Amino acid sequence: MDDTVADWRPTACILCECNCGIEVQVGADGRTFAKIRGDKRHPASQGYTCNKALQLDAYQNGRAGRITQPLRRRDDGSFEEVDWDIAIAEIAERFGAIRDDFGGETIFYYGGGGQGNHLGGAHSPATMAAFGARYRSSALAQEKTGEFWVNARLLGKPNRADVEHCEVAVFVGKNPYQSHGFPRARAVLKDIGKDPARSMIVIDPVRTETAELADFHLQLRPGTDIYAVTALAAVLVQEDLIAHDWLAEHAEAEGLANVVRVLARVPVDEYCAIADLDPELVRAAARRIGTAESVAVLEDLGVQMNRDSTLVSYVEKLVWLLTGNFGKRGAQYVFSSMSAIARDRGHRAGEGPRSPVVGAPIIGGLVPCNVIADEILTDHPNRYRAMLVESANPVHSLADSARMRQAMEALEFVVVIDVAMTETARLADYVLPAPTQFEKFEATFFNFDFPRNIFHLRHPVVEPPSGVLPEPEIHARLVEASGALTEADYAPLRAAAGDPEAFAAAFFAAVSDPRLRRLAAVLLYRTLGPTLPDGAAAAAVLWAAAHTCAAANPSGVKRAGFGTGLAAGENLFRAILASPSGVVITDDTEDATWDRLAGRPIQLDIPELLAEVEGLARRGAALVDPEWPFVLSAGERRAFTANTIIRDPAWRKRDAGGALRMSQLDADRLGVAGGDRVRLTTPRGTVDVAIEPTPRMRAGHISLPNGLGLTVPDESGAPTTVGIAPNELTATEDRDEWAGTPWHKHVRARVEAL
């Protein structure tokens, strides 16, 4: 007898930024994900999914330490359940007192969603405004902010790469076979690998699954990426492989001349020696780039969490800009958007907003994660004193977990909004339970496709347990408890909510008041939200996003079939609501990339970064410290890791304990074999861990997976921890000098046999 209901319910995978469309068949119990398959109706993934999506029942129903009632910490450190009214009132009172005594800027917000849950975080600016908070951060400040800043300086806009249609694909510190990052990643990689007219170049110290498909694998010495990409760019200049006519038309002339001057002097062979690369292999890869009709380049955490990460982002982009691989099919493009994710104003170094204690640069509105503890553990009068954490686990995911725990314990007040009792939640004063990503309306703002960009409002697949509240409702209650919004603010909008034109007029009139503009998400949630079909109140914030998208991208929205003017925004919003498998929001021409630059010439010369590139020859090769002969990559993506989204360790079908990977040569030197335990030591900590010798690793390079070291209930309910938490071994001071991003992929280490 079939124990499932008949219908397949559309939703999406939440384990990477691709958010591939999937369908779920729910068991007769109304909870179990009995079957999962790719959703062929999804406009981007078109039925594709990877192995990780098939394990999502472990997220929804696994042993995660789920919480279903608000929790308040007792004086003895234990927790007690309280009802929502008490929790909200007491939290608002405590945040309000800290604001009144020390200023709202001492209340810090962290999180806002992971790979696929951004609707709740879209309401957080209202809560921050209600209590006067100014500073925030998220996981993006561990990864992408250096690239955000470089993009803002070069182009004024974020960009992505059209890997699917390129002649040559270049992956810098990226293994899309595991990390994905573009639709149908594995299928696209295999298509490139099989096509003799196309090529793939991988720059990575590990022989990853992607590297095994590549025509050119630059398996460099860990941490020398800047020398490898600078050598590539230099060959393009020195062998005259740059796009002169294209650059004359699109690039600022003096900046181009400065870049060419610096790269013309690069000692390519010397830089290849530093990176331990064959110079002829590097030259061959550069020639393949320089002679291709189209080149798509993507970087990822292998360089973004490594030494010189911002500098690598800069030179990597010079490679495709110097060869004219921008604004055409198969190259880089500027995408439409439903949000401001990935954007920065591009201040010169030393200018722009800074964090209040350390003075660290704030890029894209985000405080660098590696300075958060320093902003707390001080007697500075402007230190952070309270923290609101939403859908994030900074105690586990940020560098130097021990110091982060110390910082959390030093705060006067901590509130966590989450699904489970995470490592961070255990240190909170209040824990507020939210539905899982499959129990509510949800979406991601990682919408980067081109020419047809996609937005997917996911509908609930199963009912939430009683006692939890969706994040928009939590934010609305906190804002109201603060006194920032009252019925008088809602009344004009509620009266107009049945008429689209009247509602638009009332909303834009309301947000002309700066006070209400900062509270716009909750205004929409409380007024437009109740009128939306199927209980989709959380999606009301998308009304403003849809109108903004239509105004910023009129041609693409019109080509997607939504009309023009105010009606286009309304039509787009209604289509998003009515499309449980996702909808095309813009259908662009290739010229749209140039339209989005609005005539701005490309600024190839970022003076402070170009000066660093020019000085690389003086820096020379880094000496190996005999005390720390290994480089640890702390947090590798593997087939059965997904950050900390799936907490139940039983989902990992392979490598359940998270082995330390090392080269066979290193294993032989240590006299150990697969499964043997070794002692791994870094300047921050020591752990014992089993090893996995593999030909994928270079000698001297070792790696641990991400997402392990979580404490969850075992089958009897007792807490148990499986694997190593990588950030017990990392240090906050190991960070990029420009963006403050951590060196998780370059941790000094030593290994001893037990």
Cα–Cα dist 124/475, whole Å: 7
Give mean pLDDT, residues 106-110: 98
Do residues 376 and 154 lie in contact, with contact meaning Cβ atoms separated by under 8 Å?
no
Give mean pLDDT, residues 334-352: 92
The H-or-E segment that residue 701 falls in is strand 701-705
Burial 107-119 (b: 16+ CB within 10 A, else e): bbbbbbbbbbbbb
Cα–Cα dist 337/103, whole Å: 34
Cα–Cα dist 73/421, whole Å: 13
Torsion sign over Cα 382, 386, 391, 392: positive
Residues 6+ positions from 322 with CB-CB distance below 8 Å: 233, 236, 237, 242, 243, 247, 259, 604
Residue 620: the pLDDT is: 76
Cis amide leading into 451 (omega within 30) = yes
Torsion angles phi and psi, residue 663, rounded to 5: -70, 155
Residues 6+ positions from 406 with CB-CB distance below 8 Å: 373, 377
Residue 5: the pLDDT is: 47
- Angle at CA of residue 244, ends 241 and 248, nearest 5°: 155
Do residues 568 and 550 lie in contact, with contact meaning Cβ atoms separated by under 8 Å?
yes
Distances (CA, A) of 401 to 143, 153, 601, 684, 730: 17, 33, 44, 10, 8
Q: What is the pLDDT of residues 220-234, one digit of tens each?
A: 999 999 999 999 999
Cα–Cα dist 681/629, whole Å: 11
Task: Place 583 in a pLDDT band, splitting at 50, 70 and 90.
Answer: very high
Q: What is the pLDDT of residues 113-129, one digit of tens each?
A: 877 899 999 999 999 99
Q: Global pTM?
A: 0.96
Please list the residues that pair with 712 across neighbouring strands: 720
Cα–Cα dist 587/608, whole Å: 37
Torsion angles phi and psi, residue 197, rounded to 5: -85, -5
Share of the chain above pLDDT 90, in %: 92
Residue 589: the pLDDT is: 97
Helices in 219-351 by DSSP H: which ranges?
A: 225-238, 244-250, 253-264, 268-274, 279-291, 301-304, 309-322
Residue 715: the pLDDT is: 83
- For the beta carbon of residue 74, count every other beta carbon within 10 angstroms: 9
Q: Where are the beta strands (DSSP E) in 356-503?
A: 386-390, 413-418, 430-433, 452-455
- Is the pLDDT higher at 620 or at 721? 721
**In the predicted model, what is the mean pLDDT of the chain?**
96
Please list the residues that pair with 111 across neighbouring strands: 390
User: In this structure, what token pair is assigned to residue 458?
Assistant: 């996911």
Residue 639: the pLDDT is: 87
Tell which residue, 565, 564, 530, 524, has the closest CA to residue 545. 524
> Has residue 2 got a pLDDT over 50?
no
User: Cα 397 vs. chain centroid, distance in angstroms?
Assistant: 12
User: In this structure, what token pair is assigned to residue 109?
Assistant: 């917000």
Give the chain's length.
754
> Has residue 631 got a pLDDT over 50?
yes
Task: Place 37 in a pLDDT band, splitting at 50, 70 and 90.
Answer: very high
Task: Place 4 in a pLDDT band, splitting at 50, 70 and 90.
Answer: very low
Residue 61: the pLDDT is: 95
Do residues 72 and 429 lie in contact, with contact meaning Cβ atoms separated by under 8 Å?
yes
> Has residue 357 got a pLDDT over 50?
yes
Cα–Cα dist 235/149, whole Å: 26
Span between the terminal Cα atoms of the chain, in Å? 53
Cα–Cα dist 574/472, whole Å: 20
Give mean pLDDT, residues 536-550: 98
Share of the chain above pLDDT 70, in %: 99
User: In this structure, what token pair is assigned to residue 59?
Assistant: 């997220």
> Has residue 603 got a pLDDT over 60?
yes
Residue 3: the pLDDT is: 46
Burial class (CB in 10 A: 0-12, 13-18, 19+), 650: middle
Burial 20-53 (b: 16+ CB within 10 A, else e): bbbbbbbbeeebbbbebebbeebbbbeebbbebb
Amino acid making up residue 357? V
> Has residue 317 got a pLDDT over 60?
yes
**Sheet of 33-38, strands arranged across:** 9-12, 21-26, 33-38
Listed as own residue / partner, the contacts of 73-82 with beta carbons closer than 8 Å and 24 or more positions apart are 73/428, 73/429, 73/430, 79/431
Cα–Cα dist 124/28, whole Å: 36
Least confident of 296-305, 455-464, 582-591, 618-627: 618-627
Least confident of 15-19, 379-383, 501-505, 586-590: 15-19
Q: What is the pLDDT of residues 655-676, one digit of tens each?
A: 999 999 999 999 999 999 999 9
Residue 6: the pLDDT is: 58
- Per DSSP bridges, beta strands 168-172 and 199-203 are parallel
Q: What is the pLDDT of residues 158-183, one digit of tens each?
A: 999 999 999 999 999 999 999 888 99
Greatest Cα pair distance in the chain: 76
Residue 56: the pLDDT is: 95
- Per DSSP bridges, beta strands 79-81 and 386-390 are unpaired
> Has residue 358 got a pLDDT over 50?
yes
